[in-house]
Amino acid sequence: MATLRVYNISGINLAVQPLLHKEGDLLRSVNVENFPIGAKRKRPGYITYLGTANGSQVNGLFNWTRNNGTQFWNYRFSGGLLYSSQQGTGAWTITGNGTFSAAGTITNAVLEDTLCVSDGVGSVFTSTTGTSFTAASASPITVFLEEYHQRIYAAGTASNLFWSNVGTPTDWTNDSSSVLIPGAGKLSSIFKSADRLIANKNSGKMYKWDEFDLVDLATNLGPTSALAIGDIEDYRIFPNRRGFFGYGGAKPELLSNAIGRQVYNDAGSGIIGTTFDSLPAATHQYRYYASIGTITDDLTNETINDAIAVYDFQQNDWWNYKFANRPTAWLSYKDTSGNEQFIFGGGSQCYQIAGTATSDNGTPIETVIEGVVHATTPDLDKEWREITASFNPGAQAKIQVAFADTFTRAFKTWVDIGDTKDGVVNYHFPQGSRSKLLFWKVYDNSATARYNFYGLTIDYDLVQRR
């Protein structure tokens, strides 16, 4: 009898054909996270955050912390109205002169302790109080704002990149000018990286600006959604129709090989094309979260409704979340104690992700971890004998297996073999469990304590060819 040990559980790997998988590569990973390294833990749930304001869908979230380091406001944009919550605990209150276009997309930047916002339809508005805004005279209509070298830069609705006077975000007349960004498409976003301003067009073209020279980065792999540009230590992560890319100052680099078949595939069941232009995303504690909509990869043919793609920057791993409420905006911020908090808008309500929450505001969290083993002999039959799996004591998950010679979903019949409440569990496979491939699955659908899954051992007999 031979033994196979799987104790280094990684992320989804849909790029390498599964018969070449490392032990521990996953076909599916839904609502679990990497913790500790090499193991999986059920993700945290969430609770409500403040009220519903005007009852309209939350289409934008951002934070402004004053230079004094003691005051901050969280903002939500819904139904064309901009609301603020002082210190992140006060009720949502509509800001003075905070009526914008309901069809617009809110953008913001800060210069000299002055908050600037715009909706892509009207002027730039500024605030020094956090609760009331004033239109900046002669400011351009802009789809994206960014502070760079003591100026506010504004991406215009076509291809002009504007900037304000030095140190004066309200002055768009004196020492203010613009530069035309050439090439196909119009400006969609701007961001800073490696002490340069990067201007992005909706064609995927990217340009580097240093106040003097404009450099064409000679790429079409720029961000497609202005709402989905994450930032981890000056490293930007964003979506493109070819995948998710990272940018650190040179050229965009592909990060999403592992989940490429969720982005686009031959069945046309990846991310819907129009979703690329407006999907929201954010970074929080070295992870990138992107709301990618309903997807079906063409390997497992399993569908995830309202999927969230999660990228672990430190471990270069991908997995999926699915919330009970579809995120339409994200925000990571520091509270009054300096603790990092993560909130999102789902419908008209905002929610706070909390490690102590075991449900999605009362809705059970359904988890799935699925892998396949072939014991380095995918061409030979195996008589599967028993499985030993390691969890934390009291875990609520269950284990399933499927015996098959193919990856075709219709030929996989899942069999429950037991629960995991004892922590380390051992089960014998049903008599006659013979196949070339063994699919295994850990799953639960509960609102109870989170579980940890550390790995499994499988005993089998190899059936040699005659």
Each residue's pLDDT tens digit, 163-217: 999 999 999 999 999 999 999 999 999 999 999 999 999 999 999 999 999 999 9
What pLDDT score was predicted for residue 1? Answer: 85
User: Longest Cα pair distance anywhere in the chain, in angstroms?
Assistant: 87
CATH of the domain at 275: 2.130.10.10
CATH of the domain at 418: 2.60.120.430
Rounded to whole angstroms, what are the CA distances from 138 to 79, 163, 179, 370, 412?
Answer: 26, 11, 17, 57, 65
Give yes or no for a contact between 28 and 368, defined as CB atoms under 8 angstroms apart: yes
- 36 and 66 assigned to the same domain: no
Domain C-terminal end among 363, 381, 398? 363
Strands 40-42 and 45-49, bridge-based pairing: unpaired
Distance CA 45, CA 355 (A): 7
**pLDDT tens-digit readout, 364-404:** 999 999 999 999 999 999 999 999 999 999 999 999 999 99
Cα–Cα distance, 218 to 208 (Å, whole number): 10
pLDDT at 23: 84
Domain co-membership, 35 together with 95: no
273-308 pLDDT tens trace: 999 999 999 999 999 999 999 999 999 999 999 999
Query: Tens of pLDDT along 20-40?
Result: 998 899 999 999 999 999 999
C-alpha span between 419 and 399 (Å, rounded)? 6
At position 41, the amino acid (one-letter code) is R
| Predicted confidence (pLDDT) per residue in 259-278, tens digit | 999 999 999 999 999 999 99
Give the total number of structural domains in the chain.
2
Burial 221-250 (b: 16+ CB within 10 A, else e): bbbbbbbbbbbbeebbbbbbebbbbbbeee
Strands (E), 313-428: 317-322, 329-334, 340-346, 349-354, 365-373, 381-391, 398-404, 415-419, 424-428
Q: Is the pLDDT of residue 256 over 90?
A: yes
Share of the chain above pLDDT 70, in %: 100
Sign of CA dihedral 200, 201, 202, 206: negative
Q: Which residue, 117, 112, 109, 210, is CA-closest to 167?
A: 112
Same domain, 29 and 49: no
How much is the pLDDT for 466? 63
Instruction: Give how far Cα 342 sits from Cα of 46, 47, 63, 264, 288, Å.
Output: 10, 11, 11, 29, 12
Does one domain contain both 458 and 344?
no
Of 330, 369, 334, whose CA–CA distance to 346 is shortest? 330
What band does 464 get if pLDDT is binned at 50, 70 and 90? Answer: confident
Among 315, 334, 363, the domain-final residue is 363
Give the pLDDT band of residue 90 (cuts 50, 70, 90): very high
Strands 81-86 and 72-78: antiparallel
pLDDT surpassing 70 at residue 251? yes
User: In the chain, pLDDT over 90 holds for what percent of residues?
Assistant: 94
pLDDT at 219 over 70: yes
Average pLDDT over residues 120-125: 96
By CB atoms closer than 10 A (0-12, 13-18, 19+), residue 356 is exposed
Let me know whether 30 and 174 are in one domain: no
Residues 145, 261: Cα–Cα separation, whole Å: 33
Domain check: are 95 and 237 in the same one? yes
Write out the residue range of the structural domain in which residue 424 sits: 2-44+367-463
Together in a domain, 316 and 376: no
Same domain, 150 and 22: no
> Which of 340, 363, 386 is where one domain is finished?
363
Q: Is the pLDDT of residue 49 over 70?
A: yes
- Beta-strand pair 253-254/281-284: unpaired
Q: For residue 203, give the nearest of 155, 252, 241 by alpha carbon.
A: 241
Residue 22: per-residue pLDDT: 87
Over the stretch 345-360, which tens digit does the pLDDT of each residue have? 999 999 999 999 999 9
23/82 same-domain check: no
User: Given a cut of 90, is residue 465 above it in pLDDT?
Assistant: no
Task: For residue 292, give both structure tokens.
Answer: 């990618």
Residues 168, 24 share a domain:
no
Q: Mean pLDDT in the chain?
A: 96
Judge if 284 and 339 occupy the same domain. yes
Average pLDDT rounded to a whole number, residues 227-241:
97
113 in the same domain as 187: yes
